[in-house]
Amino acid sequence: MESVKVIIVGGGAAGLAAAKTLGSNVDYLLIEAQNYIGGRIRTIDAVPNVTVDLGAQFIHGETNNLLYEICKSLDCILPVTDIKSNEILAITSDRTIVDPEIIRQVLIVWEELLDEARSIFGDTTIPKNYPLSDYLLEHLKQRLLSAIPSLDNLVDAFCDFFNKGELIENGCFKLSDLSLAEYGSYEYLNGLYEIEFKNGGYRPFISYMKSFIPDDNRIRLNSEVIRVKYLKENHQLLVNIRHHDKTSEQQQPISAILCDHIIWTSSLGYLKENFSSIFVDEIELIEQKQDAINNLGFDVINKVIMIYEKLFWPENVGDIILLQAQKQKSIEFSNSLKNLLKTEKIDIQLINTIIEAIHRYVVLPSTNIPILICWFGGPAAVLLEDLSEYIIGQICHEVLCYYLNISFKLNPLIRVLKSEWYKNKFIRGSYSYYSIKSSTKDGEQLRATYAPDGIPRIQFAGEATSARAYSTVHGALESGIRESNILLSIMNK
């Protein structure tokens, strides 16, 4: 039977960082269930010479951020001075354009309120099950109105807009799932918060990280670790692997490898679904982690990427926001879309949920091709996975045209792409958050090492194990380095 020193499970940012840190002299294998390296970083060629990221898109912060340092040295960051489209265009559902000065003031109030919510972190008087939604309900409307009395008839639309954005920011299904007490545990790094990539997106970063792995069959793609058992007698782990490159499920062969250590980096979503079966033989490990896996939050956000031939919104606009007034008029779709929805038997309730969730179109600044990204959170993010790219793209397009008050026939989409992070059975969502059922203790439990003979045998990395930067690429990167350094210190003893 094949035997190696270390198995790294997962080839996302955490697994790649673990491999780079161990170095090529350590006898390791990187086992990846899917047919590509990158995990939740996935850069796609959208149209000739233009890439888009279906997963992670930004770098969050500059100071004390290794990811930023690496990408800066790779010269793949888009300079802020190259971003010409940076104005916000806010439109109400009765097609009124909101004064940019109002938007500026509203954003200040919102940011201040979130800063206050973050400062609650560490306050033990706040019950763990107190959700962020209650805090916002108590303060947001009243703060907005007292800062900007003229907002009166728009205040509810703004509250709704911010709530939808916050679902995406935190990757949670509803804001009542999000813990207020832990909201401030995420550390905002100094510098720009949403650093954009040049055309090529995250791809140069993944290529760079991969370049540290020798080309000697150390990466095994299409290989899912399905069972791990610690063998007391020889202090090794028996790892069963299912090979997914075969066509039929029944024919997928299973192989076994022995190793001394595992660095496990799969998403929390994957762990929620598979942890107890993979580690069925390791009762103590299940006792150590199962509660943390259940308690921590992991839902889904998705993107719909809309590619046009020519620009039809103002050139200086980088962000189109939709403010849905209380009495939202129903949007009259084109006959062809109506017919298609009918033929495909798509439930009207589903369409309404999707329309309601649309609140923002963000221009991709790394290319001259007009590309809008429509971000979805909450129930709509799951529902859209069952729609074809054509249908969801057309819905997003026609809603935008309605708000802009232009004909949807004039500027047809040339391509639509969408992510499906929930359907992906090796990911099962987007990123982790502290739910009202969880606390910092759960994070600690999740990253705790399993050492059945006193020596760390199974270590856990991945974004969800990061204390300060869960949900991010830089958090994932740091977690892989953290666990490999622990292992190196043991191996060098």
Ligand X SMILES: Cc1cc2nc3c(=O)[nH]c(=O)nc-3n(C[C@H](O)[C@H](O)[C@H](O)COP(=O)(O)OP(=O)(O)OC[C@H]3O[C@@H](n4cnc5c(N)ncnc54)[C@H](O)[C@@H]3O)c2cc1C
Q: How far is the CB of 14 from ligand X (least distance, A)?
A: 3
Q: How far is the CB of 228 from ligand X (least distance, A)?
A: 9
Output 72 or 128, the one with its CB closest to ligand X: 72
Q: How far is the CB of 364 from ligand X (least distance, A)?
A: 12
Output 309 or 444, the one with its CB closest to ligand X: 444
Output 91 or 209, the one with its CB closest to ligand X: 209
Three-state secondary structure string covering the chain:
CEEEEEEEECCCHHHHHHHHHHCCCCCEEEECCCCCCCCCCCEEEEECCEEEECCCCCECCCCCCHHHHHHHHCCCECCHHHCCCCEEEEEECCCCECCHHHHHHHHHHHHHHHHHHHHCCCCCCCCCCCEHHHHHHHHHHHHHHHHCHHHHHHHHHHHHHHHHHHHHHHCCCCHHHEECCCHHHCCCCCCCCCECECCCCCHHHHHHHHCCCCCCCCEECCEEEEEEEEECCCCEEEEEEEECCCCCHHHCCEEEEEEEEEEECCCHHHHHHHHHHHCCCCHHHHHHHHHHHHHCEECCCEEEEEEECCCCCCCCEEEEEEECCCCCCCCCCCHHHHHHHHHCCCCHHHHHHHHHHCCEEEECCCCCCCEEEEEECCHHHHHHHHCCHHHHHHHHHHHHHHHHCCCCCCCCEEEEEECCCCCCCCCCCCCEECECCCCHHHHHHHHCCECCCCCCCEEECCHHHCCCCCCCHHHHHHHHHHHHHHHHHHHCC
Output 213 or 476, the one with its CB closest to ligand X: 476
Q: How far is the CB of 101 from ligand X (least distance, A)?
A: 29
Output 12 or 131, the one with its CB closest to ligand X: 12
Q: How far is the CB of 113 from ligand X (least distance, A)?
A: 23
CB of 358 closer than 8 Å to CB of 128: no
Output 400 or 427, the one with its CB closest to ligand X: 427
Which residues are near ligand X by CB under 6 A? 9-15, 31-34, 39-41, 55-58, 60, 224-225, 265-267, 270, 301, 303, 419, 421, 426-427, 430-431, 462-463, 471-473, 476
Q: How far is the CB of 147 from ligand X (least distance, A)?
A: 29
Q: How far is the CB of 328 from ligand X (least distance, A)?
A: 26
Output 136 or 362, the one with its CB closest to ligand X: 362
Put residue 221 in one of left, alpha, beta given phi > 0 → left and psi -120 to 50 → alpha: beta
Output 267 or 411, the one with its CB closest to ligand X: 267
Q: How far is the CB of 480 from ligand X (least distance, A)?
A: 7
Output 132 or 278, the one with its CB closest to ligand X: 278
Output 159 or 486, the one with its CB closest to ligand X: 486
Q: How far is the CB of 71 from ligand X (least distance, A)?
A: 11
Q: How far is the CB of 367 from ligand X (least distance, A)?
A: 17
Cross-strand bridge partners of residue 450: 458
